[in-house]
Structure 1
Amino acid sequence: MKKQLGISLSLACLLMLMGCSASPTSLKTTRITLLNSKTEIKTQLEEVAKQYNQEHPGVTLEIISAPEGTSGYQKLMSMYGSGSPATMSMLDSGDTQQFLDKAVDLSKEKWVAETIDNGLDAVKKNETVLGFPFAVEGYGLIYNKKVLDKAVGGSFDASSVKSRSSLNLLMTKIKKTGVEPVMLSTMDWSLGSHLLTVSYSVQPGGFSKFVKGMQNNSIDMSKNDAMSGWVQTLDLLKDNNINKNSPMENTYDGAKALGEGKVGLWFMGNWAWGEIKSNDTANGEYGFLPLPLNNNSDDPVNSKITVGVTKYIIIDSKTTTPKQQEEAKRFLNWLVFEKPGQEFLVNKANTIPAFKNISLEPVDPLGKSIKAYISEGKTLPFITTLPPDHWAITGASIQSYISGKIDSAELLRQIRIYWKAQR
């Protein structure tokens, strides 16, 4: 009996010792979370989190993805409402403005000195850096070169499209081959945040002056050349859309239609490369064409695509511990300075990094096309300081126009009403 009791006590002590030895290890593990608002890289982010956790056993990085159709802004607002925001949150550039007062100061981080020119403008407050530039992205008309080669009867030259009339001619040639010219996706974020804002980026005096002019009634939308030209270009896309008979049904998926050669052009950004690649049936070549807004071939805006920092990551300062903030900073530095982090940004997330020290060339053709436009100085500013509801409201107005429910005058009136309400 005593022997049995001794064994039991020994076993109990052993278990206690094991528990005691395990406790310090568990206490050393720091949990950090990242809210992801780029749904197209959900899988890639989850994979890189696993990799990061293996390389850094003292930390557990978890990815929280905003639901499809929900903005990062909406998701983070609900998280703050429940008192449990993410450690790090990836947000659209304009949305970061709403959370800068809750963000950790990143001014002393090593990567700040490596950031591209103007890459931190949207996340600076009194010269304090409050956000990490996650991705430089661009958009325009993505083309399938094999379709266009056939249409022009030779090797298609992207520089040949530098006016609305030359784009119209190209679409006519595409149609003669039995292929639909273009896919116009009608998601409100694509129409409101991307398609419409091309017209904002070319306004005389800049975007801010244009908005003030709409608010104080000093701009007549019907006589604004950029807006009028934009509507005419929208009409060209609408009339040549593969889904023109039922535009809101989106019978064809854009990436599938372009990759399979059912259309020659798709208005979208480089973030769609993963989807295009998975639908590319002929190992094709792809690149960007600008969206011309007038018929003047000498107007430089007709030869430019939209490029800019579209996503920033902020670190929460209100509910996180100093250790969590330290680990979050460590992760951001890993993305910029460690090879696996750079590989993730360039080759897995298919982004163009906002950092000069990253020399990796994009593997995907859309990234290469954007870099070429950047090196040639042929870029328009990506309007990122939009109110959080801009794409939903203006996108809905454009949807109504594409569907034939309103005319162009009413479309422009609704856009103006939106901006007047922002005063």
Structure 2
Amino acid sequence: MVVTACSSTGNQKESASTEAPKATASTTAAAQSGKEVKITLLNSKGEIQAQLEEAAKTFKQDNPNIMLEVLPVPAGQSPFERASALYASGNPATITMLDPADVGKFKDRILDLSGEKWVADAVDKSLDTKATDGKVMAFPFSVEGYGFIYSKPVLDKAVGGTFDPGTIKTTNDLESLFKKIEASGVAPLVISPMDWSLGAHYLALAYSAQSSDTAKVAAYIDQLKAGKGDLGNNAVFNGLMNTFDVMTKYNLDKASPLTGVYERGPEVLGKGQAGIWFMGNWAWPNIKGSDTAKAQYGFLPVPVSNNPDDFGNTQITASVSKRLVLDKERSTPEQQAAGKKFLEWMVYEKIGQDFVVNKASIIPAFKSNKLEPQDPLAKSIIDYVARGKTMESVSTLPADHWAKNGASMQKYLAKAGDRTALVKEIEDYWKSVK
């Protein structure tokens, strides 16, 4: 999917599309009225808040009668929770950025976008219609991947030459690398203790790595819901937690593992104070802002065993991570038309495409965008995709999965609970899911 979207060899100086999107009655209604239309976008990607605000200003220059305000999801609140609260107050955003699993929960309140031009330009597997009665009701905003982000200069120094990411295929390989980094005088890694990172990303690997067959992954989650998953004896889960134990041993913040904040990760990685950070390519703008050495970066998979042939040991997760939906319950036809215009702007207008790829460092989900990401993390993801070394993230996790299981992972990280307690809390959580 990502290769299709990003590895085109077409002329980047060309206009993004030889055919501009056709104007319709809905998309031109606001322009014909001459009145300013105000729309809002609820942003659940806090790391690009500034970029989205700048994009809103640029979009207004192209569309003088549309005022776009970007509303951030408050820290500690999921996009589902915030969107639900706004609907409860009778003031939903015109455009809402949701996690993929939450789109179906709003299907009665959002517009059917099946007839939009960009549907035909979306890359393979980026449109999800399973939870929306076969309709396209969400715009695939970003393709993202995650794993261990590494600083090449730090690792080159640690191994005494040119570091080869292909040498890390097992948990033992990873610990050996940590020891070498530590011996070079640098912290091996930093663990960000936010519940969303531990619960939505790290723990989710225990599901994704169950099998390369996504149907088997879904079947295992159904077993957990039925109380039959037996997480405590699951090889993938235990292997992943064995890796986590190694991580905690070499964590820069092991003396106070829960005090770290998101901003600490890119700072210590960018300054060469740590060699590795578990995070995704969405963090590139933050790393770039802290990168004093203009270093090179890439991804390493998170090993789940000591058998290099096991699925998950050489794969990173990559898939559509955020989707945009348009409100139909409270938004006026003019606001809906303006919201559609913004989506078209990102897909077809050259300056909108530049925002997606170069300003927000997002891997686009549309074939019409011929720009190749220049940031090293996006390039690393594209390389994994090209080599067939990716696994899909689980897009059906409940909205409260990261908060509740993230809290359990935080207790385990702080050694306030052992693995038996962690297993019980996670299994009890799944049994409670309706």
TM-score strictly above 0.5: yes
Residue 395 (structure 1) aligned with residue 406 (structure 2): yes
Taking the TM superposition and a 5 Å limit, the aligned residue runs for 1:252-267 are: 253-267=264-278
Q: Is the 8 A contact 2:118 2:347 kept in 1?
A: yes
Q: CA deviation at 1:126?
A: 2.1
Give the number of the structure whose alpha-carbon radius of gyration is greater. 1
Q: Please list every run of 5 or more consecutive structure 1 residues that lacks an aligned counterpart in the other structure.
A: 1-23
Q: Is the 8 A contact 2:144 2:319 kept in 1?
A: yes
Q: CA deviation at 1:411?
A: 0.5
Provide the C-alpha distance between the structure 1 equivalents of 2:131 and 2:195, rounded to a whole number of angstroms: 29
Please name the residue that 1:229 is paired with.
239
User: Given the two structures, how large is their TM-score scaled by the length of structure 2?
Assistant: 0.89
Please name the residue that 2:92 is paired with.
85
Between 224-233 and 95-104, report the one with greater CA deviation: 95-104
Between 71-80 and 275-284, report the one with greater CA deviation: 71-80
Does the C-alpha gap of structure 1 residues 356 and 33 become closer, same or farther in structure 2, counting only changes over 3 Å? same
Q: Is the 8 A contact 2:103 2:131 kept in 1?
A: no
Which AA in structure 2 matches 1:387? P
Please name the residue that 1:76 is paired with.
83
Structure number having the greater helix percentage: 1
Residue 242 (structure 1) aligned with residue 249 (structure 2): no
Residue 295 (structure 1) aligned with residue 302 (structure 2): no
Please name the residue that 1:21 is paired with.
none
Please name the residue that 2:376 is paired with.
365
CA deviation string 1:300-322 (max 9, x = no partner):
42111011111100000111122
Which AA in structure 1 matches 2:115? K
For the aligned residue pairs, the C-alpha RMSD in angstroms reads 1.7
Aligned with residue 394 of structure 2, among 367, 370, 383: 383
Aligned with residue 319 of structure 2, among 308, 322, 337: 308
Which AA in structure 2 matches 1:111? W
Please name the residue that 2:160 is paired with.
153
Q: Is the 8 A contact 1:162 1:297 kept in 2?
A: yes
User: Given the two structures, how large is their TM-score scaled by the length of structure 1?
Assistant: 0.91
Which AA in structure 2 matches 1:132? F
| Structure with greater contact order relative to length (CA < 8 Å, sep ≥ 6) | 2
Aligned with residue 126 of structure 2, among 106, 119, 129: 119
CA deviation string 1:349-388 (max 9, x = no partner):
1110111221211111111111111121111111222111
User: Partner of 1:387: helix, strand, or coil?
Assistant: coil
Residue 169 (structure 1) aligned with residue 176 (structure 2): yes
Q: CA deviation at 1:219?
A: 2.7
User: Partner of 1:47: helix, strand, or coil?
Assistant: helix
Provide the C-alpha distance between the structure 2 equivalents of 1:122 and 1:26, rounded to a whole number of angstroms: 34
Provide the C-alpha distance between the structure 2 equivalents of 1:219 and 1:59, rounded to a whole number of angstroms: 51
Q: Is the 8 A contact 2:149 2:297 kept in 1?
A: yes
Aligned with residue 146 of structure 2, among 125, 132, 139: 139
Which AA in structure 2 matches 1:255? P
CA deviation string 1:117-160 (max 9, x = no partner):
22112675222100000000110000000000001110111111
Q: Please list every run of 5 or more consecutive structure 2 residues that lacks an aligned counterpart in the other structure.
A: 1-30
Aligned with residue 106 of structure 1, among 113, 119, 124: 113
Q: Is the 8 A contact 2:37 2:334 kept in 1?
A: yes
Q: CA deviation at 1:215?
A: 2.8
Provide the C-alpha distance between the structure 2 equivalents of 1:227 and 1:74, rounded to a whole number of angstroms: 28
- Aligned identity (percent) is 47
Q: How many residues align?
A: 400
